[in-house]
Structure 1
Amino acid sequence: MKLYPIETGNFKLDGGAMFGVVPKTIWNKTNPADNNNLIDLAARCLLIEDGNRLILIDNGMGNKQSEKFFGYYSLWGTHSLDNSLEKYGFHRDDVTDVFLTHLHFDHCGGSVNWNKDKTGYELAFKNANYWTNENHWEWATKPNAREKASFLSENILPIQESGQLNFIDKPTSDFEICNLGFYIFYADGHTEKQMIPQIQYQDKTICFMADLLPTVGHIPLPYVMGYDTRPLLTMPEKSKFLNTAAENNYYLFLEHDAHNEIITVEQTEKGVRLKEIFKCEDIF
């Protein structure tokens, strides 16, 4: 097995929205804001090469939205999904499986592209099976008013229409092995049945943290995003996961932290806190 970080692009969001009730005087120390109160974020995905399978976990915002839409997110940097794949000798057509932690636009927008004449949509990974879970699919295709702006039909419905949509088997426990051969932790605080993959890589457990732990600054339990639909559920979910991660020395792959790629955590008198920071190249 080989693992590759796939940098699909960088963007910014309001720091207050990213930290909920936590005051700016606190979160600004770990995630400094610009003059517009925006903090740096990444859309860092993970590619798993395992035998004949090439599995991509999440795929960023994509590029089919309008200039006005992207203007809300202050895109910056030079990363792109295609350039990241090419860096490691791959192309979109090589991907066999696209695993989506959840269907918010910044995680699945790259799933679907415009067709050549921009009259409709086509799958960005034409040879891939796309994986979500039935509970989350139902949640995303019949969205509540709070999340409706994050579940864009053009990112989601073409997957079903293509016939390439697949559902992970329904979970019966917190940590459960899935159809693709890795374990999943299911979390309901951010959105219904978000999936946090755990990959056994050599002698390490690599955890793709998605929106359960967006950045290093979110490690303390009350530091919960304003975007979470059930923040009081996020806290015990974070507690369970981070305590397990500290106990077992998991390596936490951060999808949204623009400046920290992989971390470990440890128990302290204040609870679970940051232990070490790594570059992907140090681990993979």
Structure 2
Amino acid sequence: MKLHSIDTGFFKLDGGAMFGVVPKSIWQKTNTADDKNLCTWATRLLLIEDSNRLTLVDTALGDKQDDKFFSHYFLHGDDSLDKSLKKLGFQRDDITDVILTHLHFDHCGGAIIREGDRLSPAFKNAHFWSNEKHWNWATNPNPREKASFLKENILPIQESGQLNFIAEENPVFDKHIKMRFANGHTESMMLPQITYKDKTILYMADLLPSVGHIPIAYVMSYDVRPLVTMQERQDYWKEIVDGEYILFLEHDPVYECCTLQYTEKGIRLKDTFKLADI
């Protein structure tokens, strides 16, 4: 098995929204904001190369929305999904599986492309993986999340016949990967847990957007159940430290991976490093 970090560029979101009740005077020490109070975030994906399977975790924002939509998010950077795949000798049609941690647009927008008047899967040979609870949540969106669950990102996956569900009661994807779940950010977000070189790697999705979010109370305003997120973090953080897990960070603008440790102030950052250094 080989793991590859896939860089697809950067986007911007409001710093206050990303840190909830935490004052800017505190969060700006780790995540600098521009003059519009926007912070830069990565759209970093994980590619898992194993035997006859090539699995991509999440797909970033894609490029099919109009200019007005993208004007809110200030996409920038030289990297793209296609460029990053090409550097590794792959292309989209080589992907056999796409795990979607959840269906917010910045995690699944790249799953679907626009071909003329048609919306089609960007990975024509892939099985797409979600779970039934989250799929139903996303296709019948609540008012708070409706702007993040875009039907053009979601429904064409099902219409293609390529959609599959992972059951929470049997979350094993293959012998190296199983799904963990979190319900504070959104219903039934999936966190792939990977056994790699005798280590445990946990793909954090939006449970931990960046190393600046490690303190338990640093919860995003986007989370639908912030108190649940805090409890999940408390439980996961202890397991992560005790198990010496490596965390893969999807949105941190600088760091790909990190580890955590116990300190006098609670659980905090231990080390940061690149996935390739494992």
Whether TM exceeds 0.5 here: the answer is: yes
Q: Distance in 2 between matches of 1:11 and 1:184?
A: 27
Judge conservation of contact 2:176–2:195 (CA < 8 Å) in 1.
no
Partner of 2:34: 34
Partner of 1:121: 119
Q: Distance in 1 between matches of 2:175 and 2:16?
A: 36
- TM, length-normalised to structure 1: 0.96
Partner of 2:212: 217
Partner of 2:256: 261
Q: Secondary structure of 1:273's partner?
A: strand
The one-letter amino acid paired with 2:94 is D
Q: Distance in 1 between matches of 2:218 and 2:155?
A: 33
Q: 1:206 to 1:242 in 2, by over 3 A?
A: same
Runs of 4+ in 1 over 4 A off after TM superposition: none
Q: Secondary structure of 1:178's partner?
A: strand
Deviations 1:172-213 (A, max 9, x none): 7xxx53357412221000000001111001121111100000
Q: What's the CA shift for 1:280?
A: 2.1
Q: Secondary structure of 2:55's partner?
A: strand
Partner of 2:270: 275
**Which of these residues, 231, 234, 247, is aligned with residue 239 of structure 1?**
234
Q: What's the CA shift for 1:249?
A: 1.1
Q: What's the CA shift for 1:223?
A: 0.2
Structure 2 residues without counterparts, runs of 5 or longer: none
Partner of 1:133: 131
Q: Distance in 1 between matches of 2:188 and 2:13?
A: 23
Q: What's the CA shift for 1:171?
A: 3.0
Q: What's the CA shift for 1:17?
A: 0.2
Partner of 1:202: 197
Judge conservation of contact 2:42–2:252 (CA < 8 Å) in 1.
yes
Q: Distance in 1 between matches of 2:59 and 2:168?
A: 23
Q: 1:170 to 1:179 in 2, by over 3 A?
A: farther
Q: What's the CA shift for 1:252?
A: 0.5
Partner of 1:93: 93
Partner of 1:171: 169
The one-letter amino acid paired with 1:161 is E
Judge conservation of contact 2:210–2:252 (CA < 8 Å) in 1.
yes
The one-letter amino acid paired with 1:94 is D
Judge conservation of contact 1:103–1:156 (CA < 8 Å) in 2.
yes
Q: Distance in 1 between matches of 2:147 and 2:209?
A: 19
Partner of 1:182: 177
Deviations 1:104-154 (A, max 9, x none): 000000000011xx2111110000000000000000000000000000000
Judge conservation of contact 2:185–2:222 (CA < 8 Å) in 1.
yes
Judge conservation of contact 1:130–1:165 (CA < 8 Å) in 2.
yes
Paired positions, count: 278
Q: Distance in 2 between matches of 1:189 and 1:171?
A: 19
Q: Distance in 2 between matches of 1:181 and 1:137?
A: 24
Answering whether residue 152 of structure 2 is matched by residue 157 of structure 1, we say no
The one-letter amino acid paired with 2:137 is W
Judge conservation of contact 1:169–1:178 (CA < 8 Å) in 2.
no
- TM, length-normalised to structure 2: 0.98
Partner of 1:143: 141
Q: Distance in 2 between matches of 1:179 and 1:113?
A: 28
Judge conservation of contact 2:94–2:125 (CA < 8 Å) in 1.
yes
Overall identity of the aligned pairs, in %:
60
Q: Distance in 1 between matches of 2:175 and 2:77?
A: 32
Q: Distance in 2 between matches of 1:110 and 1:128?
A: 13
Answering whether residue 42 of structure 2 is matched by residue 46 of structure 1, we say no
Q: What's the CA shift for 1:169?
A: 1.6
Structure 1 residues without counterparts, runs of 5 or longer: none
The one-letter amino acid paired with 2:59 is N
Q: Distance in 2 between matches of 1:20 and 1:200?
A: 33
Q: Secondary structure of 1:69's partner?
A: helix
Judge conservation of contact 1:169–1:179 (CA < 8 Å) in 2.
no
Judge conservation of contact 1:168–1:179 (CA < 8 Å) in 2.
no
Q: Distance in 2 between matches of 1:261 and 1:3?
A: 12
